[in-house]
Amino acid sequence: MNTELTRKLNIEHPIIQAPMAGGPTTPDLVASVSNAGGLGSLGAGYLSAEQIRNAIREIKQRTDRPFGVNLFVPEQPSTPEDTIIKMNDYLNKYRMEVGIAQSTSIPKFVESFEEQVQAVLEGNVSVFSFTFGIPSHDVIQSMKQQGMFVVGTATTVDEAIALEAAGVDAVVAQGSEAGGHRGTFLPSTADALIGTMALVPQVVDHVSVPVIASGGIMDGRGLVASLALGASAVQMGTAFLASIESGAHAVHKQKILSSNEDSTEVTNFYSGKAARGILTDFMKDMHFYEGTIPAYPIQNALTRDIRQAASKVGNPEYMSLWAGQGLRLSQDQSASEIVKQTLDQAYLLIESMGNLRE
């Protein structure tokens, strides 16, 4: 399928597998999507430089087609020390719940962005994408000088305009349906949970770079709809999250395959940053917390041992079950089959649209 973005990226189909950080985007998943003619993406936000180098090497062993790597733009949280200590203490009740030791020390927040960037530059991948903000001019320029295609993430028109001004080659318009973390980085009047149907055309009208639609896009219907709205490609996350190649926890996959469209909420309880996931006991219980939630990445670091312990025993109620609102359309299929089905359905749909004329 032929769009401005497939031509620029030299890929067959305008289907980007979303760079879901935290495990799902195994080298197998990334390579499978790219080999199927889409663009696989490594969600590297939580990976060390060493882990990024290894993952890129493994992906390149599996495919010689273009793929992308995504990083989180670092933030300087200004949460006061006592807020952090209070939260860490409060979280001990959940540590007890999942059977791990109480904690009083504050863990390391985040990987070094500079080292991550260096690993991506050395990896010489086709696409560098980022979320949670805009990297420095130097970072964007060095990626572009390396010949990489640079993609930023927007949740409002103003964010898309800011990204274009910073020199990105394309913008992901992330609608409210999307699973996982919200890419929001500019203050907004309201909460910036703009639905994909409304967000995409408004972004398209205000930037000249190609727009990639994301949020609730699960199949050929979502692909054709997004192209109609003016997007040059789609980014699909939840659609690949339960795929065979996905590294998501088996319990996470099972929850995705068995949950309904109204079972997710946007929460900042896991990481300090808004993210959409299936409602859990942890999310319900944290509503009673009377303090302030430390900002990302502090809260993310504080809850890490709890999430890891819950994963180990397969207890979904204390894991972060990121998922978008298209849940009912997720499939336990190979990633290449998901790409193929999406394309086939899209072509049939475009064919049938001719019948709309009287």
Q: Which residues bind its own copies (CB under 8 A)?
A: 1-3, 156-158, 175-177, 188-199, 201-202, 205, 215-219, 221-222, 224-230, 260-265, 279, 324-326, 328-329, 347, 349-350, 353-358
Instruction: Classify the phi-psi angles of 167: left when phi > 0, otherwise alpha if psi is within -120 to 50, otherwise beta.
Output: left
Shortest gap between Cβ of 332 and its own copies (angstroms)? 17
Phi, psi (deg, nearest 5) at residue 66? -60, 145
Measured between alpha carbons, how far is residue 295 from residues 22, 131, 150, 273, 319 in Å? 18, 16, 27, 7, 19
For β-strands 149-154 and 67-72, DSSP reports them as: unpaired
Q: Which one, 216 or 294, has the nearer CB to its own copies?
A: 216
Q: Which one, 64 or 191, has the nearer CB to its own copies?
A: 191
Q: Which one, 84 or 211, has the nearer CB to its own copies?
A: 211
Q: Which one, 91 or 199, has the nearer CB to its own copies?
A: 199
Shortest gap between Cβ of 250 and its own copies (angstroms)? 22
Shortest gap between Cβ of 218 and its own copies (angstroms)? 7
Shortest gap between Cβ of 235 and its own copies (angstroms)? 12
Residues 6 or more apart from 213 whose CB is under 8 A from it?
A: 173, 175, 196, 200, 226, 229, 231, 233, 234, 235
Q: Which one, 167 or 230, has the nearer CB to its own copies?
A: 230
Q: Which one, 114 or 191, has the nearer CB to its own copies?
A: 191
Give Cα 310 to chain centroid, integer Å.
22
Shortest gap between Cβ of 192 and its own copies (angstroms)? 5
SS3 275: strand
Residues 6 or more apart from 218 whose CB is under 8 A from it?
A: 236, 238, 239, 326, 329, 330
Shortest gap between Cβ of 15 and its own copies (angstroms)? 13
SS3 98: coil
